Structure 1
Amino acid sequence: MEAGVETQKGRDAHLHLDVSVEESAPWRGVLALLEKLRPQWKPADIKLKFFTDGITNLLMGCSVDGGPGGPGGPGDTVLVRVYGRQTELYVDRDRERQTLQTLHAHGCGPQLYCSFRNGICYQFVRGAALDDNLLRQPAIYRLIANEMARLHSIPPRNGSPAQPVLWEKVSEYLHLVQTAEGETPTPQGAPPGVPGLHLLRNEVETLKKHLAPIASPTVLCHNDLLTKNIIYNQAEGSVRFIDYEYADYNYQAYDIGNHFNEFAGVENMDYSLYPGVELQRDWLTAYLQSYKQMQGLAAAVSNEEVQQLYVKVCKFSLVSHLQWGLWALLQARYSTIDFDFLRYARARFNYYFKKKDEYFAMKLLD
């Protein structure tokens, strides 16, 4: 491990440190990073906190007590994220860094401090991660709707129309699952309770055909807005989003539908917590009001506009189940994190098939 320094050139200009952080013994690597990022910190004073909510990467917070104000002072925390095993197969790390820089420039994301061989360091967002109860409170979920509208209003970096990443990603996951099965085939095929790859591929094609005629704007999306990725600052009365690992340009209705799916939770999924129609319509009204204002339009929202978006969100939410179910199959193969990924995959696929006919039958207004 060498603590060399390299500044990346071009549009993705940022500090890159030639450091590796070992997942099983991170201290040495973390110290090498902080020697460059916070040289005023004394190693003996540095505190390391492990965050356990994530199921993709290893995340640590580094801080010290006392010291001067500002960066490196009291309350300053540097987040160190060590990429999960084999996640480079389905996460474009260059694009992730570019997106983080764009988000920070528009006040929607944390500052990227540096990248290193197997991860990144970035700013800690103050506040508390939401819980299931707060997520359902009108004053809170309207803040979330407003913040998502702000994110969705960020223009493309190069000024040209962006392309949605959805189907490219789903196709990539299908290919990776097929490749993984070929590397270590199991005699019984798909794990018990998990649909076979042929059936999943057919479902993806069916969804593509069903959603093709439905117009949904392509916007900059979070694409992974689960409860723990929303930070509530009670003192400021604000919410901020974190963990933009999967952020990219995508369908507006997908990002919202994916967020509604996350009401069910991750560790112990419970789809009785899926938001009811009344909550969804109120959420969508707040979202549309903010989104229209940010487009320079009048904020008035009609019932017809809310209904149209509601139907689109329901339909696009189906893709979220297939995508994250496939993701979980990959994680089950490669991840070293202690989480029952196969159970998670079964839950996502089961709810997809439960809601498919109902959502396919929904009609948009003429």
Structure 2
Amino acid sequence: MPGPKRVLMWDRLRNWLKTAKSVCPSDEAKEFRLDSLEKEIAALESEFSGEEQCIGFCHNDLQYGNIMIDEETKALTIIDYEYASFNPIAFDIANHFCEMAADYHSEEPHILDYTKYADVDERKRFVQTYLSSSGEEPDAEKIKDLMNNIEKYTLASHLVWGLWGIISVGSFA
């Protein structure tokens, strides 16, 4: 992907926080602790930015509804790139794992079922396969490091979609 490989998730979080504050009634903003989230975003950015990160062009919304499979050829097509940007790949993978807990075909897609969240072995297989896609077999340390970063970025994924939810509801109020 052309252009600078600048991480955009922190700017997006700050922009969405500003928007969430503007659409959320003050009693709900207090309940959601929106005034304390700027510090949380800064702490996450500081914590994660100090580590060596693999930055890539990320989908940022890779849930099953955005992955199309041709039944005959088994070819995959990824759709809906409206949130795509450069970010740490660990964030994109963390978000993908978090999305496994959602059922968008239910009456309550916002209620997450973490029994559907990938277990450690499945996450490790996913990471190993992902890292192997470059043609090189990753060593155990590289797999462990990416898995650790994925676990940390799970927090950022929840924050992104929590703010998105507040904005979505607020814009229909």
Aligned twin of 1:307: 144
**Cα drift, residue 201 of structure 1:** 2.3
Aligned twin of 2:113: 270
Q: Distance in 2 between matches of 1:237 and 1:220?
A: 24
Aligned twin of 2:82: 245
Work out which structure has the larger RCO, using CA pairs closer than 8 Å and 6 or more positions apart in sequence.
Answer: 2
Q: Distance in 2 between matches of 1:252 and 1:200?
A: 23
Aligned twin of 2:29: 190
1:164-175, aligned counterparts within 5 Å? 164-175=7-18
Q: 1:331 aligns with which of 156, 168, 171?
A: 168
Aligned twin of 1:232: 69
**Cα drift, residue 157 of structure 1:** 1.8
Q: Distance in 2 between matches of 1:165 and 1:255?
A: 12
Structure 2 unmatched ranges of 5 or more: none
What SS does the aligned partner of 2:128 have? helix
* Bigger strand fraction: 1
What SS does the aligned partner of 2:29 have? coil
Which of the two has higher C-alpha Rg?
Answer: 1
- The normalised TM-score by structure 1 is 0.43
**Cα drift, residue 214 of structure 1:** 1.6
The alignment covers a number of residue pairs equal to 167
Q: Distance in 2 between matches of 1:163 and 1:212?
A: 12
**Cα drift, residue 288 of structure 1:** 0.3
Post-superposition Cα deviations, 1:195-216, rounded to whole Å, max 9, x if no partner, equal 2112322221221222121222
**Cα drift, residue 167 of structure 1:** 0.4
Q: Distance in 2 between matches of 1:305 and 1:312?
A: 11
Aligned twin of 1:118: none
Aligned twin of 1:157: 2
| 8 Å contact from structure 2 (residues 68, 77) kept in 1 | yes
Matched, 1:318 2:161: no
* Bigger helix fraction: 2
